[in-house]
Amino acid sequence: MPRWEPDARQRLVTAALQLFSEQTYDKTTVGEIADRAGLTKSTFFRHFPDKREVLTAGQETLARLFTAGIAAAPAEATPLTAVEQGLAEAAAAMTPFNRELGPRLEAVIATSAELRERDQLKHVGLAASMAEALRARGVSETVAALAAEVGMLAFKEAYAEWVRAENHEGLAELLRAVMSRLRRAITELG
């Protein structure tokens, strides 16, 4: 296949997940991923620094969407309302490709301690991006960190529900429902 095809990144992610599922993450090489995607190793390295990063493809985009939504929230918005706007911004950008990959990605991550650790680092990085966007709005350090963690919990729960085969709701709807549930839970903390 020609190297210039526009969907190279998606093909690399799909190929990597297929290979990781078939022969495990540890036994899969970058060359095999590139071959399966019909691309060269140099094309792989233009998109990802290593095979581990294939599994966090889109983290920068998610962070950018979260922070853009938070920044665009009205000045009078509470920290959780601003986070909710960031989550809505990310939900609007999610495609059927993201939904299809979810269960396969989770299955691959579950097979490797290294990948589980990387997944946790992704969570930390995304929460830090949201907290930073909240601090830029004048929110205190502690409140920003707490609101960002609530946002990440909401995103994780809603995304897990969204990728379930029997689910027919949209990610945005699920995020609103989870955020509503978490707001109620926070008031119960006292």
Q: What HEC string does 7-53 produce?
A: CHHHHHHHHHHHHHHHHCCCCCCHHHHHHHHCCCHHHHHHHCCCHHH
What integer pLDDT is reported at residue 56 of this predicted model?
A: 79
For residue 184, give both structure tokens.
């109620």
Dist. CA 4–CA 7, nearest whole Å: 9
Domain with CATH 1.10.357.10 in the chain: 58-188
Contacts 24+ apart (CB under 8 A), 145-149: 147/79, 147/80, 147/82, 147/83, 148/83
- The answer to whether the beta carbons of residues 66 and 87 sit under 8 Å apart is yes
Give the whole-number percent of the chain exceeding pLDDT 90.
Answer: 67
What integer pLDDT is reported at residue 53 of this predicted model?
A: 85
In CATH terms, the fold of domain 58-188 is Tetracycline Repressor; domain 2 (1.10.357)
Q: Give the residue ranges of the chain where pLDDT is below 70.
A: 1-6
- For the entire predicted model, the pTM comes to 0.83
Domain with CATH 1.10.10.60 in the chain: 8-54
What integer pLDDT is reported at residue 1 of this predicted model?
A: 43
In CATH terms, the fold of domain 8-54 is Arc Repressor Mutant, subunit A (1.10.10)
What integer pLDDT is reported at residue 97 of this predicted model?
A: 83
